[in-house]
Chain A
Amino acid sequence: MDLSYTDEEEEFRARLREWLASALPGLPGRPDPGDWPGRRAYDTGWQRLLYDAGYAGLHWPADAGGRGATPTQHLIFLEETERAGAPYVGANFVGLLHAGPTIAAEGTAAQRARWLPPVLRGDEVWCQGFSEPEAGSDLASLRTRAVRDGDDYVVSGQKIWTSHAEVADWCELLVRTDPAAPRHRGISWLAMRMDAPGVTVRPLRTLAGSTEFAEMFLDEVRVPVSHRVGEENDGWRVTMVTLSFERGTAFVGEVVACRRTLDALAAEARRSGRWDDAVLRRRLGRLNAEFRALWRLTQWNVSEAQSTGGVPGTGGSVFKLRYSHARQELYEAAAEVLGAGDALDLDREWVLDRLSSLSYTIAAGTSQIQRNIVAERILGLPKGR
């Protein structure tokens, strides 16, 4: 049990801090949440800065254009960028954490050369075409069809909950290429251009009032066969590679941010006099234990991943279950700190965050699905109903 960092890691941290201190003051202001083109420009601009400074694709393997950093260095990167108040990965999320690592692991040399450098430079944005109206948590029941026609697939169907669809250049798309095969077998993984004829994006309004995600209608969209990653009908396996990356360290920065939010809540409660309420004060104390433990759980998972060559294990599901719940608890406590008046004021940042926290137990695999994963894959309970 060694929680100390090596000299090399501390040096990495110090260099990063120094760079952040010089790079952040020059950043433009954050765009309005509803301004999608503005958000894209902001997020990709930040990515370009990272690229020029040598921090892009830190945890990607070197032969994919990354820095080949250890999971611990990646952890330090996420911790320090959040601590410094740097921008989130934002619109680059799918490209950097999802599609990119998948192409790096499963793509041909030509595919890697075509798609990876623009992601690292912030030139191209990806979105994710996995979920469908009838295939959310039950991803394998997806229906979007791809029929081979010469050198193209002709794709028709509908995708949903597609974040960043409005500003994406590419979509990592799961399609059914063999309707007769067992449901996990007839699926393929395609890279689809978002400006291809037949692609229609319709924004969905969330309960927070914003358009975080969209529906995507595909009407005989032609996707070259050369844009398929992995073998035909082997897309499920490729997808599982993708998902294991998604849950690894995706929330590290957020845990650091939650601890900052908790400090801010305590300061607000002290200022308003609500700190004298022992029940509220103790509730905030308990949340302190929660987010400290979640940070330690992250370090534990990263240590485990280090021993398995960087592939995150099922510990990600344990983390996500606890974290998504704790995040919601945090904003419930925030509402109490704000009090009845301010807790209904959408101009208070905490109020919007309270609303968005509701998605955490749903997105990236619902808590119910995560519990099944934990019960079956970690605890070995029988598959069933």
Chain B
Amino acid sequence: MDFRLSEDQRALRTGIRELLAGRFARDRMRATLDGGGGVGRELWRELGAAGLFALRLPGTAGGVGLGLPESVLMFDEIGRSLLPGPLAATELAAGVVKGAAEGEAVVALAEAGRPVGHLAQADALLVLDGDRARVLTGGALRQVLREARPVRSLDPGTPLWRVPDLAAHDGEPLPEGARLRREGALLTAAEQLGSAARSLEAAVQHAGEREQFGAPIGAFQAVKHLCAGMLVRAETARTAVYAAAVTADPVEIAGAKLLADDAAVGNARDCLQVHGGMGFTWEADVHLHLKRAWLRSGQWLTAADAEEVLAADLA
């Protein structure tokens, strides 16, 4: 047993981190939000070219032939960067929806009773209803868009639409809906992990620089203990998510999503607190991580659903 990342996995992670740092640095991220959020098609294609969406497709299907652990590492990096878009749904649709693997298509996610993100830009819609899944494209998708109405989205990076009951809309049924839902939950948990780690870094950096009462605020136990709590949350969630990526076990994935949601939301809140008044401003990025974390907490597997899965596992 050696739980640590292999050399190849480290290299993969470094690669995507460098790509995002070069192409989606903070000014670019801010400009995207100011423009109403949404998917940057050019970057989407670059991520496709880097293999993000095709990572798990076999080589014979034009993929990279890697596994869930590698996808999780990539999504972890994406979570740090605040890159918007239905990334998990598009990754899961690679090999099913034309162009998804290459980053040419955007596949949005629709779950019963929840608003749909990035609907206007979507080339396909992955509809999840419990453990059933289907894909809407073409005329069916256009009709959904006509009937939908935009929501003033809490997350400035994710434009949202309320859609009518999708049961009436035909789509192409997908096998293994339960697996798609689990894997979507895991990839989303990985994004939460990256966000939690980024919030921790921001808090620690601020606590080391900001001076009050003649000392950096990070010298005060009250602030130190907030930061320590953030690390504990992030590291506990990290091992849960990584392990779930290795085992792909449904119960373990439920635990990973639950703890990663907690880590992303909790760390963003504590980061805001460490930043004091500055944390409550639009200029600080803290709120962006919090809002995205809230959004992701409601996708694929909510806390209530995850807890039921975990409870059912007990003897």
Contact = CB atoms under 8 A, between A and B. Distances in A.
9 contacts: A1-B6, A3-B247, A288-B311, A292-B251, A296-B240, A299-B239, A321-B232, A375-B227, A381-B219
A283 B258 CA distance: 12
Contacts of A209: none
A312 to B, nearest CB: 14
A288 B235 CA distance: 17
Main secondary structure of the interface of A (DSSP, over half): helix
Contact of B228 (A285, A293, A299, A375): A375
A22 interface: no
Interface residues of B, number: 54
Contacts of A315: 235
Contacts of B278: none
B232 A289 contact: no
Given A293-B236, A293-B237, A1 B1 contact: no
A5 to B, nearest CB: 5
A295 to B, nearest CB: 9
B224 A281 contact: no
- What 10 pairs across the A-B complex have the smallest Cβ distances? A384-B219, A289-B255, A285-B311, A266-B314, A285-B310, A375-B224, A285-B307, A263-B315, A282-B307, A371-B228
Contacts of A4: 1
Interface of B: 1-6, 9, 69, 200, 204, 207-208, 215-216, 218-221, 223-225, 227-229, 231-232, 235-237, 239-240, 242-243, 245-247, 251-252, 254-256, 258-259, 304, 306-315
A300 B239 contact: yes
Interface in A251-302: 262-267, 281-286, 288-290, 292-294, 296-297, 299-300, 302
Contacts of A1: 3-6, 9, 69, 242, 245-246
Contacts of A303: 1-4
B315 A368 contact: no
B232 A3 contact: no
Given A285-B310, A292-B240, 17 more contacts: A1-B3, A1-B246, A3-B247, A284-B314, A289-B254, A292-B255, A293-B236, A299-B243, A303-B2, A318-B232, A372-B221, A375-B228, A378-B231, A381-B218, A382-B219, A385-B215, A385-B220
Nearest to A280: B311
Contacts of A293: 236-237, 239-240, 255-256, 259
A374 B308 CA distance: 33
Contacts of B313: 285, 288
Main secondary structure of the interface of B (DSSP, over half): helix
A11 interface: no
B4 to A, nearest CB: 5
Contacts of A288: 251, 255, 310-311, 313-314
A267 B6 CA distance: 40
Given A1-B5, A299-B239, A381 B314 contact: no
Contacts of A110: none
Contacts of A300: 3-4, 239, 242
A370 B220 CA distance: 15
A281 B306 CA distance: 12
B219 A383 contact: yes
B192 to A, nearest CB: 14
A376 interface: yes
Given A1-B4, A266-B311, A289-B310, A371 B224 contact: yes
A5 B2 CA distance: 9
A131 B245 CA distance: 43
Contacts of B254: 289
B204 to A, nearest CB: 5
Contacts of A267: 314-315
